[in-house]
Structure 1
Amino acid sequence: MAEILLPYVERDPDGRALADEAGETTWAQLQDRTNRVIDVLRRAGLEQGDRVAVHSGNRREVYEIAMACLHAGYYVLQTNWNYTTDELAFVLDDSDAKVLIADDRYVDIATAARERCDDIGLFLVLGTGTDDGGPSSYEDALAEATATEPGGQVCGAAMFYTSGTTGKPKGVLSATFTPGSPVHELIETAQGVRQGLSIPEDGRVMLVGPVYHSGQWSMTVYPLLCGVTVCMIRQPDAEQILDVIDREAITNLVLNPVDFVRLLKLPEERRARFDGSSLVQAVHGGAPCAPDVKRRMIEWWGPVVTEYYGASEGGLFALSTSDEFVRKPGSVGRVLPFIELQIITEDNQVAGPREEGLIYVRHRSGADFTYHKQPEKTADAHREPGQFTLGDVGYLDEEGYLYLSDRKSEVINSGSVKIYPAEIEGVLAAHPAVDDVAVIGVPNEELGEEIKAAVKLGSGHEKSAELADELISYVADRLPDYKVPRSVDFLDELPRTDAGKLAKASLRERYWAATGRKI
């Protein structure tokens, strides 16, 4: 059986390991199914370090696949279920994935993407398979596999794709785990995450956001490795979040600011019925949170709301408790003990207190990351080996609390979904009425940011609400819904530098000045 799961199977074989709307998985069942997944992958000819792509929503099978990869020396790659065929095909090809396992809800896009990727030898669907050369049934494959304990268990790892301003995501390979290293290294890190997030040994964590987010994945997979039950919701609404917390006695969960806004919009009568006494910590991050929204959540839920700052490239960097938010509003907290953080000014000097600069972090363990197949971008992110930046600008106060003040990169963060302006700008630039265009993120109380297109019209075209609607529809016909601008502003000129580059910081300022924040 999977070595790390053995103590929990022996302790409580019939206890719940996983739960979703479709049912439950006990620890004994998780052991059995993990062993079978390992057998399926080994029979497919996978070698140490190979990638297994999972294109799925929030469901229990995601975790048994992760357990298998983490015990068999493979990378598990959880892909964004919002991807178009082109986007998924790019990630599958770029990652060198050998296996694709797709949720039946997304099987059409997965099938089309797989046809462009010659390296994928095994294609399974979570649900009913097909008889026409399409994906085989995941359940049928497990039924034919052996559940006996796999030999030669070694550590696997996770691979995530993160955003970039070029419109193409970057594959992140972290050195936290090295496929093939002793499997016990997993539990050492997992216990550190569990303790750092104040998750009780007998706790229950809840997956609310998309499992393809590295934060949601890490803050549920690692606790599962520690024997903590994971409950999940596939497509949550605010009332369902409250119901599950109380029904399942959830102790820990990860939310986004958009969840806070929707929860606070519930009728007062429904909010009053929420007990929430089981909660130990409700962590949020991944997008800016309006201070008033966070303050109201703390007043309602009590001092369990904790903000995190981190990324796929390096995990958690800082945490801010409810008490620290009250004392240091706007801060993302103190840097964690295992992280060394410096603010570097434009002249490459270490900044003093409250002096802004690029935020650089370093793991004291020496763990680092690379961008898969992108050595130039890996080098650009590093000041020196082991010390890297995500492009965020901020400062430290006199007590060492970190504040984020801007993002150097131009990626729009809308409801924790990263959106590339360059791709949208490219579509709009092709419209015959558009002479110049800039796409930026502007304030949205619920999503953090929403997409706005600033357009300079060509000669012979007049500003009008009808033309703005036409431009929005033009994008909607060519890109997924989450990349469509919410609004269009017509400007006589767009600000540009002497070198001809769009001065987006200047453009953003007119929309963000009244908010007192920049992200």
Structure 2
Amino acid sequence: MNDRYAEHYRRFQWTIPAVFNIGEAVLSGKDPQAVAVWDVADDLTTRRYTFGDLAQDARRLANVYQSLGVEPGDRIGILLSQSVELVVSHIAAYLVGAIAVPLFALFGEDAITYRVNDAGCRILVADGMDWPRLAPIRDQWSTVHHIILTRQPDGPAENTLLWDTLLTGASDRFNPRPTGADDPAVIIYTSGTTGSPKGALHAHRVLLGHLPGVVMPHQQFPQPGDVMWTPADWAWIGGLLDVLLPSLYAGVPVVAFRPRKFDPERTLDLLQRLPIRNVFFPPTALRLLRTYTDRPRDGVALRTLASGGESLGADMIDWIRRVFGVTPAEFYGQTEANLLVANAPDIFPPTPGSMGRPVWGHDIRIVQENGEEAPIGEVGEITVTLPDPVAFLHYWNRPEATEAKTAGGRVHTGDLGRQDERGYLYFVGRVDDVINSSGYRIGPTEIESVIASHPAVALNAVVGKPDPIRGEIVKAFIVPTTPTIDRDRVAREIQDMVRKRLGAHEYPREIEFVDTLPMTTTGKIQRNVLRQRESARKPS
């Protein structure tokens, strides 16, 4: 095919208006009768919500927020999975000039409490079905004044407000608070790789900054008939800003469906029943689908398939072409600066193993430890030049971490890569210790902290162990306080602790008891040594 990448990159120019609001941008200029969200229940029954419905409910909720004392810059925690209520909660927060704080619905109690308190959320919006597990920790949220439940819980819910009651009594007329493109809009928490999770504060311009990184892998998105879905949760930047908000901004319907556990059969049923044409599949989802089927499913008619987080490999790409009839487009980014590198199969040919080329509008450089740009083919850190509309403003209440992340006028991703003579970029490894499991970027520090609280644990370290399905699994190495402990019982207790306090996606699927851990001369645990050991071991 004719390679037209250089032409597109050269011609691209950013258009970022001084005044811009994500909520207004998502709602304005849309046909009020057009479908905005297909809300899919567990049994795959669907409800359609139009842009008119979204506008009406978002304006009502914005009035509710204001009546509850929300001021510009206040933080609103949104502890919901994929649903129309999540969409409305975000849009309303932007309309009032507040800062949305998306929270993963499967987080455990410690993970929720840390983020709610760190962000200083004034309001928390949550699913009433989650109230039984939230009620016992509600008193730990020092800044939360009001809790809005989207559904009536099974039991009592004192000092909470019900979604339907609030919206029924609110006006659907609202004058949005004017915001600048650089005004804060959303805090998305990182994985906590090198300490406690950090809140990356993004401005309203971040939506515009993502658009070229959506257009490239989804091949001139939007096109007539496009409908978007991802199994990735909308609390993460990949779900929120790779899929949800760019699609609504473009007038493309989004499917809201995320079961608590990925199921290949139900996924194929969903793709067969609904007119989904565009998907973002994390690599783990694709691997699970591949174990389930090797032939096309009647009625599935994708136009584009995007993936990111790790390389798919030539065999997986061939399987996708055979089963879904499309060429997958891989991309790369992170919470602080997302969709920096991507493939565009209609513009230039993808190369197996490559993340793609720099997305139009972004200046990506591979930088060595001495600060110099790496020669072609040599490994260095992946960085992006500032200013850049997709880049975060700063870490929430972390000025020193912000300074380190943006040293020298560049966002330092902490990831290692190389670039070939054609401009294709390849992911090599990580500077930090992040674990990439089932599409989740998991930091070891929070997990280690929970494990350390067990009385039988003297020392522990958590790393990612290579896994053929999940990419990596969480593995814990534990030095016990005494060699005579019941190791099976302690392992089960630790796994249950992490599930409950942090979430099922973070618990250590494998625990190994050891006599010692590798240490530096200054007493720091060498996780890299443990990772190397695991990578060198033959699969059992």
Give the number of aligned pairs. Answer: 497
Per-residue displacement from partner, 1:193-216 (whole Å, max 9, x unpaired)?
Answer: 553443224321113221111111
Matches of 1:457 and 1:291, distance apart in 2: 43
Runs of 5+ in structure 2 lacking a partner?
1-22, 42-46
2:30 aligns to what?
8
Deviation larger for 495-504 or 227-236: 495-504
2:144 aligns to what?
120
Matches of 2:195 and 2:188, distance apart in 1: 16
State the 1:374 CA deviation.
0.8
2:190 is aligned, of 156, 162, 172, to 162
2:37 is aligned, of 18, 22, 25, to 18
Q: Conserved in 2, the CA contact under 8 Å of 1:339 and 1:363?
A: no
State the 1:259 CA deviation.
0.9
Question: Which residues of 2 match residues 93-242 of structure 1 at below 5 A?
Answer: 93-128=117-152, 133-150=158-175, 152-154=177-179, 157-175=185-203, 177=205, 192=212, 195-196=215-216, 197-198=218-219, 199-202=221-224, 203-218=226-241, 219-235=243-259, 236-242=262-268
Question: Which residues of 2 match residues 328-477 of structure 1 at below 5 A?
Answer: 328-363=351-386, 365=388, 367-385=391-409, 387-429=410-452, 436-456=459-479, 460-461=483-484, 467=487, 469-477=488-496
Q: Conserved in 2, the CA contact under 8 Å of 1:358 and 1:393?
A: yes
Instruction: Look up the SS of the partner of 1:405 in the other structure.
Output: strand
Matches of 1:411 and 1:47, distance apart in 2: 36
1:243 aligns to what?
269
Q: Conserved in 1, the CA contact under 8 Å of 2:74 and 2:121?
A: yes
Deviation larger for 161-170 or 258-267: 161-170
Question: Which residues of 2 match residues 280-295 of structure 1 at below 5 A?
Answer: 280-287=303-310, 289=312, 291-295=314-318
Q: Conserved in 1, the CA contact under 8 Å of 2:479 and 2:516?
A: yes
2:286 aligns to what?
260
Matches of 2:223 and 2:329, distance apart in 1: 19
Per-residue displacement from partner, 1:462-485 (whole Å, max 9, x unpaired)?
Answer: 9xxx73x33421312422143332
Q: Conserved in 1, the CA contact under 8 Å of 2:73 and 2:97?
A: yes
* TM-score relative to the length of structure 1: 0.87
State the 1:287 CA deviation.
4.6
1:29 aligns to what?
53
Please tell me the residue identity of whatever aligns with 1:146: S
Are residues 274 and 511 of structure 1, via their aligned partners in 2, closer, same or farther at CA, if it must alter by over 3 Å? farther
Are residues 37 and 442 of structure 1, via their aligned partners in 2, closer, same or farther at CA, if it must alter by over 3 Å? same
Question: Which residues of 2 match residues 32-111 of structure 1 at below 5 A?
Answer: 32-111=56-135
Per-residue displacement from partner, 1:146-202 (whole Å, max 9, x unpaired)?
Answer: 012435454672221111235521111124539xxxxxxx6x557545534432243
Matches of 2:345 and 2:303, distance apart in 1: 12
Matches of 1:292 and 1:436, distance apart in 2: 40
1:182 aligns to what?
none
State the 1:291 CA deviation.
5.0
Q: Conserved in 1, the CA contact under 8 Å of 2:232 and 2:239?
A: yes
State the 1:4 CA deviation.
4.8
1:299 aligns to what?
322
Per-residue displacement from partner, 1:212-270 (whole Å, max 9, x unpaired)?
Answer: 111111121121122111112130522222222233221212111111012112245xx
Q: Conserved in 2, the CA contact under 8 Å of 1:457 and 1:490?
A: yes
State the 1:326 CA deviation.
7.9
Are residues 136 and 455 of structure 1, via their aligned partners in 2, closer, same or farther at CA, if it must alter by over 3 Å? closer
1:181 aligns to what?
none
Per-residue displacement from partner, 1:60-83 (whole Å, max 9, x unpaired)?
Answer: 111122222233322111101122
Please tell me the residue identity of whatever aligns with 1:375: P
Deviation larger for 389-398 or 314-323: 314-323
State the 1:47 CA deviation.
1.4
State the 1:127 CA deviation.
0.8
State the 1:401 CA deviation.
1.5
Instruction: Look up the SS of the partner of 1:446 in the other structure.
Output: coil
Matches of 1:16 and 1:365, distance apart in 2: 32
2:519 equivalent to 1:496: yes
Per-residue displacement from partner, 1:34-92 (whole Å, max 9, x unpaired)?
Answer: 11111111111211122111101111111122222233322111101122222212211
Are residues 175 and 238 of structure 1, via their aligned partners in 2, closer, same or farther at CA, if it must alter by over 3 Å? same
Per-residue displacement from partner, 1:483-506 (whole Å, max 9, x unpaired)?
Answer: 332223355553333333223223
Q: Conserved in 2, the CA contact under 8 Å of 1:76 and 1:158?
A: yes
Task: Name the structure, 1 or 2, with higher relative contact order (CA <8 Å, separation 6+).
Answer: 2
